[in-house]
Structure 1
Amino acid sequence: MMATLSAYPSQVHADATALLVYQGQPNRTVNWNLVGSGSVTPLSNCTDETGKAGALYQPGTAGGTVKVEVTAGA
């Protein structure tokens, strides 16, 4: 199964929080890593029975590139 990471809204604005949804294997621990400005607040520390986990992304300084990495464990 391929894992995906989606943002809602898909175009993140500098003045708004975005919902991040990771879709992978069910019942796995999840670690969120942010490279760039802003903050990521996990809504759970593992995927649910459907394989989804969520986090909130709050933008930092305007401009630049931000990367969010998700690592799912056992």
Structure 2
Amino acid sequence: MITTLTVYSAQVHADATALLVYQGQPNRTVSWNLIGSGSVMPLSNYTDVTGKAGALYQPGTIGDTVTVEVTAGA
């Protein structure tokens, strides 16, 4: 299952590091895919017992619309 999180251009600023939170099934693997500028650093490769996984997004080009896809596995 792929969940898409979109960061809109009005929200991207040079110093706007954001915490991204994925909510799904507990104890599942997750992978993060960035489409656009910037970088995503996963905080964990698995959801926790409540089904949450997080990552940090560091903006690239100011004004870009960025998509982060989260794929949850078994």
Pair in the same fold by TM > 0.5: yes
Tell me the residue number matched to 2:65.
65
User: Which is bigger in relative contact order (C-alpha 8 A, separation at least 6)?
Assistant: 2
For residues 45 and 26 of structure 1, what CA distance do their matches in structure 2 show?
12
State the percentage of identical aligned residues. Answer: 85
Compared with structure 1, are the counterparts of its residues 12 and 52 closer, same or farther at alpha carbon in structure 2 (3 Å cutoff)? farther
Contact 1:4 1:24 in 2 (8 A): no
Post-superposition Cα deviations, 1:22-50, rounded to whole Å, max 9, x if no partner, equal 00000000000000000000000000000
| Bigger fraction of residues in helix | 2
Instruction: For structure 1, list consecutive stretches of 5 or more residues without a partner in the other structure.
Output: none
What is the TM-score normalised by the length of structure 2? 0.82
Task: Give unmatched runs, 5+ long, in structure 2.
Answer: none
Question: 2-side partners of 1:23 and 1:36: how far apart?
Answer: 22
Structure 2 contact 25–47 (Cα < 8 Å) conserved: yes
Q: Name the counterpart of 2:33.
A: 33
The whole-number CA distance in structure 2 between the counterparts of 1:26 and 1:4 is 18
SS at match of 2:19: strand
What is the TM-score with the length of structure 1 in the denominator?
Answer: 0.82
The alignment's C-alpha RMSD in Å is 2.1
**What code does the residue aligned with 2:22 have?**
Y
